[in-house]
Amino acid sequence: MTTQPGQPIALDPAQIYSALPNRGTMPTIDLVAELPADAEVDTLIVPVFQGANGLELAATGSGLLSKEQEITLWRVLTSVGATGKREELTPVPGELLATEGSAPATKILALGLGDIDDSTDEDIRELAGVASRAAGLGSKVVSSLGLISPEAALVGHALGGYRFAGFKGASAKNAASQDAAGQDAAGQDDAAASDSPVTITVLAREADAALLAQAQVDAAAVALARDFVNTPANFLYPETYANTIREIAEAVGLGVEILDEKELEQKGYGGIVGVGKGSEHAPRLVRLTHEPSADNEAPQVALVGKGVTFDTGGISLKPGANMWDMISDMGGSAAVVATMVAAARLDLPMKVIATIPLAENTPSSTATRPGDVLRHYNGLTTEVLNTDAEGRLILADAMARACEDEPDYLIETATLTGAQMVALGNRTPGVMGSIAFRDKVAELSQEIGENGWAMPLPPELGEALKSDVADLRNISASRWGGMSVAGHYLANFVTEGVEWVHIDIAGPAYNTEGAFGYTPKRGTGVPVRTILATLRHLAGTTKGG
Ligand code: BES
Ligand code: MN
Ligand code: ZN
């Protein structure tokens, strides 16, 4: 796959897939060393910071503004009380900087960086995200944040500019007609017209095509994961989800295999069948394979992601308040699919196989009951004492299957426990597993700003999963350490010798509060960039080395 610098990415964010009747939109981003003289600029983003003596302009001398214009801008900003503090946005009419009747932009948006000496790449990503969100729909934005860090500015601007209008107004009609009658070609045009994205040109010292392509592919992957999560469960259920994954995966050249409920039953996937059997929407297991185009020495990696398209709790029913947030319970699977799409598009030099279990957890007369015993793909049995601890049941089968491929590394992620949020809050993924690999993944996650944190698997918490009648029970008898208890449960399904990491994203996958930095409301796309960073790291190592 090749991505032409400056061209919109091939996996068009406006493309409508059967289970995603309304996708979000993302800015079109470009990276240039010099702005064409006749460029139309609606909004010019100018970083400013808090210097020792008050507001100062950052990234000056870019050629975007003349010395005189910079002085005028500084005067205007200080006269209206701008200080350059972090996230301060001060709009200034471009007219005020006009020379010989021509203004550098319709609007200048001064963006406060705070203390510039302390600012990290993550600060730049966040501030670029804030600026993207402040830019009006359909506007042409030029940003000089790339002069500070091109990679951070590209990623932050792209991620922060994501918008999910979802099912409002005209788009709602499309969604309704799609629900009844499938793909609606006329609807596609409406959706695109009502929500035209921002165009963001990032100015940098040099225009690095590889950097731009990587940022575009990564951002598209994050947007895809967000779209999946943002799509409600009446559109996205195992069958439609699997079909949509097939469409997207085949378009980028991934190998695709889908097992339906009958095949799952025949092949002994008792965990996936047991969780899915209460719903009219039968479960699926999706397998995606990325084969690199050239031979290499890199390790083979398995990815697994929890895909509970809606989690009511099942017979152990959840309370009604906030149950709507459970549309995000397929966030792990969404991140894994999106990562696979990026792996294919970037032709990452390693073999990666994803195993993605999809099920809807709902009560009915055919649902699994508390006390039922399920037999997993590897023969281990689980006594189900709480049907709301369902994620581990489907992951157990998927991880056992993934290990059959004899991967060197297994990266698994899931919206697994409320206990993750109790322990770490809703922005910090809990990272558990093989010690050295766990620590590496947490470190990479912190570098790219998803902030995963290493958590232990204390041995006594594993003891609490012993059952009288089966190999395991699916909940512990104690209320403490629920995140690590779940991690212990999963450890039983990892084959000896496979380096393994489990990333609990119960909180971080879904933002139920206001937008911040480059993170919108609802689906966040976490931990797509953590997994991509890990794959890139592993691609640079050798098998067994
Ligand atoms: N999907 C939930 C975990 C979750 C909670 C994700 C809140 C996002 C936000 C999971 O299936 C679940 O219900 N876990 C139970 C486990 C318990 C029964 C041992 C929980 O955390 O309460
Ligand atoms: Mn649950
Ligand atoms: Zn769940």
Is 43 within a domain? yes
Is 184 within a domain? no
Model confidence pLDDT, tens digit, residues 414-427 = 999 999 999 999 99
Reduced to 3 states (helix: H, G, I; strand: E, B; else coil), residue 395 is helix
Model confidence pLDDT, tens digit, residues 221-235 = 999 999 999 999 999
Closest CA to 379 of 268, 487, 463: 268
Q: Which atom of ligand 1 is nearest to the CA of 417?
A: 21
Weakest mean pLDDT among 125-134, 168-177, 184-193, 452-461: 184-193
What range does the domain containing 91 cover? 24-168+196-206
Report the amino acid identity of residue 156.
G
Model confidence pLDDT, tens digit, residues 41-91 = 999 999 999 999 999 999 887 888 999 999 999 999 999 999 999 999 999
Mutate to test the pocket of ligand 1, among 275, 317, 384, 388 (most ligand atoms within 8 A of CB): 388
Ligand nearest to the CA of 415: 1
Cβ 396 vs Cβ 502: under 8 Å: no
361: left (phi over 0), alpha (psi -120 to 50) or beta: beta
CATH number of the structural domain spanning residue 163: 3.40.220.10
* Cis omega (within 30 of 0) for bond into 13: no
96's CB contacts (< 8 A; 6+ apart) are 72, 73, 76
Whole-number pLDDT of residue 408: 98
| Distance from Cα 261 to the centre of ligand 2, integer Å | 20
Residue nearest to atom 3 of ligand 1 (CA): 417
Mutate to test the pocket of ligand 1, among 316, 327, 393, 417 (most ligand atoms within 8 A of CB): 417
Q: Which atom of ligand 1 is nearest to the CA of 420?
A: 21
State the average pLDDT for the chain.
92
Q: Are residues 320 and 401 in the same domain?
A: yes
DSSP states along 445-467: HHHHT---EE----HHHHHTT--
Q: Are residues 133 and 249 in the same domain?
A: no
Is 7 within a domain? no
Model confidence pLDDT, tens digit, residues 306-355 = 999 999 999 999 999 999 999 999 999 999 999 999 999 999 999 999 99
CATH number of the structural domain spanning residue 503: 3.40.630.10
Q: Are residues 201 and 255 in the same domain?
A: no
Q: Are residues 333 and 396 in the same domain?
A: yes
Whole-number pLDDT of residue 196: 62
Whole-number pLDDT of residue 514: 97
**218 annotated as ligand-binding:** no
**67 annotated as ligand-binding:** no
Residue nearest to atom 8 of ligand 1 (CA): 506
Rounded to whole angstroms, the Cα distance separating 29 from 209 reads 12
**Confidence check: pLDDT of 10 > 90:** no
Is 185 within a domain? no
Whole-number pLDDT of residue 13: 58
Helices first, then strands: H and E counts in the chain? 16, 21
Instruction: Please identify, among 182, 206, 230, the residue that sits at the C-terminal boundary of a domain.
Output: 206
**390 annotated as ligand-binding:** yes
Is 233 within a domain? no
**122 annotated as ligand-binding:** no
Q: Are residues 160 and 249 in the same domain?
A: no
**Domain count of the fold of the chain:** 2
Whole-number pLDDT of residue 198: 84
Q: Is 318 a catalytic residue?
A: yes
Cβ 55 vs Cβ 74: under 8 Å: yes
Rounded to whole angstroms, the Cα distance separating 236 from 523 reads 14
463's CB contacts (< 8 A; 6+ apart) are none
Q: Are residues 201 and 279 in the same domain?
A: no
Closest CA to 388 of 283, 450, 314, 333: 314
Whole-number pLDDT of residue 170: 57
Q: Residue 138 — pLDDT band, cuts 50, 70, 90?
A: confident
Q: Are residues 146 and 287 in the same domain?
A: no
**Confidence check: pLDDT of 5 > 70:** no
Model confidence pLDDT, tens digit, residues 350-386 = 999 999 999 999 999 999 999 999 999 999 999 999 9
Average pLDDT over residues 152-167: 93
Rounded to whole angstroms, the Cα distance separating 14 from 25 reads 7
CB within 6 Å of ligand 1 — which residues?
A: 311, 329, 386, 388-391, 415-419, 475, 482, 506
Q: Are residues 201 and 254 in the same domain?
A: no
